[in-house]
Amino acid sequence: MTRSTKVAHKTVKVGDLDIFYREAGPKDAPAVQLLHGFPTSSQMFRNLIPLLANGYRVVAPDYPGYGHSSMPTHDQFAYTFDNLAAVIDAFTEKVGLTKYALYVQDYGAPVGYRLAVAHPERVTAIVVQNGNAYDEGLDNDFWKPIKAYWQEPNSKEKRDALRVALTYETTKWQYTHGVKNPELVSPDGAAHDQFLLDRKGNDEIQLDLLLSYGSNPPLYPKWQEYFRTHQPPMLIAWGKNDQIFHRRRSRAVQARPENAGVSPARRRSLRPRDERRRDRPTNA
């Protein structure tokens, strides 16, 4: 491993929050910012980062409430996608990312698309790994109880019905469902994610964000307009076995910018790049 591919583990102050991030690569190289999904953190990129670091400055932050970043209670910090994006926006300025490519997966998409719309001049390209921006992507059974909660945000019954998404069985399912050879999937990633999900108070944070996900569909037209107007170079990888954002429902594949490449990958997954057959693109 060369000096540039060694991964540093750092923390920077953003307001009152300590934001943890992983960084590798030459400081003067083109930058790539990796934005993780649920229920994981920047650890999902732990094996990808060194592979990119020979040619890029790679930065992967943990959102508030995730990974090793600060986790104020949901009474102390409003866990919304607007706020996550605002924190990551401030983070990019703190670490000197003036221009960067975005790599977005799952929750990383609504965070990253907010950044792209706010600062189109900063975004040089976007790699999309099952990152939804169309209503059709939410048209499946997985979203029905979540949408029911959006309709009745004060319902304890509707909120509690979503707690199953925070269990270890569900976390393992996200890693292994649809995989041809699940014995090839290391259990370490799911165990790491669950350890952090099980911290006291983190369940309320995750339920708040499931509620806040309802703020994303109204922004889809704005994000789609960004795609059409700015035409960022894009690489789109979509898992055919994804039961959360189903590929056949995703117009992110159908209505992509003209300069977007599409890779119909095997399934949605949180596994590091070298443990998976499907989800992560082979280049950025």
CATH number for position 217 = 3.40.50.1820
When comparing pLDDT for 128 and 247, which is higher? 128
Mean pLDDT over 83-91 rounds to: 98
Q: Give SS3 for 54.
A: coil
pLDDT attached to residue 5: 80
- Tell me the pLDDT tens digit for each residue of 26-78: 999 999 999 999 999 999 999 999 999 999 999 999 999 999 999 999 999 99
pLDDT attached to residue 262: 55
Report the chain's mean pLDDT, rounded to a whole number. Answer: 88
pLDDT band at residue 279, thresholds of 50, 70 and 90?
Answer: very low
Q: What b/e string do you get for 136-166 counting C-beta neighbours within 10 Å, with b at 16 or more? A: bbbeeeeeeebeebbeeeeeeebbeebeebb
Instruction: Find how far residue 275's CA is from the centre of its chain.
Output: 18
pLDDT band at residue 251, thresholds of 50, 70 and 90?
Answer: low
Q: Is 169 a domain residue?
A: yes
Q: Is 283 a domain residue?
A: no
Task: Please provide the size of the chain in residues.
Answer: 284
Residue with tokens 């600060």: 70
pLDDT band at residue 120, thresholds of 50, 70 and 90?
Answer: very high
pLDDT band at residue 178, thresholds of 50, 70 and 90?
Answer: confident
Q: Is 219 a domain residue?
A: yes
How many CA atoms within 13 Å lie on the side-chain side of 75?
A: 1
In whole angstroms, give the CA distance from residue 150 to residue 145: 9
Q: Is 148 a domain residue?
A: yes
Bridge partners, 11 (sequence order): 20
Q: pTM of the prediction?
A: 0.88
Other CB atoms closer than 10 Å to residue 233's CB: what's the count? 14
Q: Is 1 a domain residue?
A: no
pLDDT attached to residue 249: 47
Q: Is 201 a domain residue?
A: yes
- Tell me the pLDDT tens digit for each residue of 129-165: 999 999 988 999 999 999 999 999 999 999 999 999 9
Which residues, including other chains, have CB under 8 Å from residue 58's CB and lie 6 or more apart?
22, 23, 24, 25, 31, 32, 34, 49, 52
pLDDT band at residue 278, thresholds of 50, 70 and 90?
Answer: very low
pLDDT above 60 for 242: yes
The domain in which residue 263 lies consists of 8-275
Q: Is 3 a domain residue?
A: no
Q: Is 282 a domain residue?
A: no
Number of domains, the chain: 1
